[in-house]
Amino acid sequence: MIIEQLKAEYPIQVICNVIGYSRSCYYYQPRTEKESEEEALKKVIADVAGRYPTYGYRRITKQLQREGWNVNHKRISRLMRELELLAKRKVRRKRTTNSVHGYKRYPNLVRGLVVERPEQVWVGDITYIRLREEFVYLAVLMDVFTRSIRGWHLDITMEKSLTITALAKGLKQNVPEIHHSDQGVQYAANDYVQLLEENEIAISMAGVGKAYENGYAERLMRTIKEEEVDLSEYRNFNEVYERIEEFLEEVYMKKRIHSSLSYLTPSEFEEKWRKEQ
């Protein structure tokens, strides 16, 4: 190029003015194919991380592979580090478990249990959701083997009807062998226990103050919080109900992959298992 021949004797600006060549064009360095691909990949990573904030680099890698990207977890880990997407936020939670009551306590039947089929164990838990001027409460039941949502209910109070309604919804479709929860009053109340016993469901409870003994349900609630509730500002009860319904029944069940399910969604995993049987 003539500019390269003359730049030893004249300033670049003078040369560009004389020959009618843009200085910005002279200094422009085209991106390599690899650089362009990485920029596109970063955008996709950011999109997946936005949709599923609790995904680590391994699950984001699997999600990208499902979407057609030929990537490995080392590359995704590096790019997520560059995007500062590897750090986890700590959020303080409001207590929803009141285990100070006079109802009967039940032993932990799932400690050390190998869960190997659907409806072997359901787990239940309650969480709160903040609206602008009040709280509402969500009760959810999950099948441990498939990670599928079996029943849920949203209400303005934490009265016993919250958990009973969620359980009644679940029992319309399936009946578990074991129901496991914490020792909260909503799960120990007579009406709730009676509904379990009428369906010949064994009752199991985590120890008081031992949230880890109800770990499956705890992790489910954390997922709901981090991937839907903490990212939203709900105006009223109807809005939060619609959003939770969409998240549980569409996003969680049909779109969100689980590492424990061979990176399938709960719906995919359950369908695959039942076909194989």
Write the pLDDT tens digit of every residue in 27-86.
444 554 555 778 888 888 888 888 888 888 888 999 999 888 888 888 888 888 888 887
> What CATH number does domain 121-276 carry, 3.90.45.10, 3.20.20.70, 3.30.420.10, 3.40.47.10?
3.30.420.10
pLDDT at 77: 85
pLDDT > 90: percent of the chain: 50
The CA distance from 274 to 258, in Å, is: 18
Collect all residues with Cβ–Cβ distance below 8 Å to 67 and sequence separation of at least 6: 44
The residue type of 216 is Y
pLDDT at 150: 98
Average pLDDT over residues 168-189: 95
Name the 3-class secondary structure at 152. strand
Token representation of residue 2: 């003539």
Least confident of 16-30, 100-114, 206-220, 263-277: 16-30
E strand segments, 131-233: 135-143, 149-155, 178-181, 202-205
Q: Does the pLDDT value for residue 187 go beyond 80?
A: yes
The CA distance from 201 to 232, in Å, is: 36
Collect all residues with Cβ–Cβ distance below 8 Å to 8 and sequence separation of at least 6: none
- Residue 261: band (very low, low, confident or very high) from pLDDT cuts 50, 70, 90: very high
Average pLDDT, the chain: 85
Q: Whole-prediction pTM value?
A: 0.72
> Where along the chain do its domains lie?
33-82, 121-276
The CA distance from 71 to 166, in Å, is: 41
pLDDT at 27: 46
Least confident of 6-20, 40-54, 187-201: 6-20
The CA distance from 181 to 255, in Å, is: 26
Token representation of residue 3: 């500019």
The residue type of 96 is T
Nearest one of 157, 162, 155 to 181, comparing CA atoms: 162
Tokens 């390269």: give the residue: 4
Name the 3-class secondary structure at 210. coil
Q: For residues 82 and 176, which has the higher predicted lDDT (pLDDT)?
A: 176
Q: Strands 121-130 and 178-181, how do they pair?
A: parallel
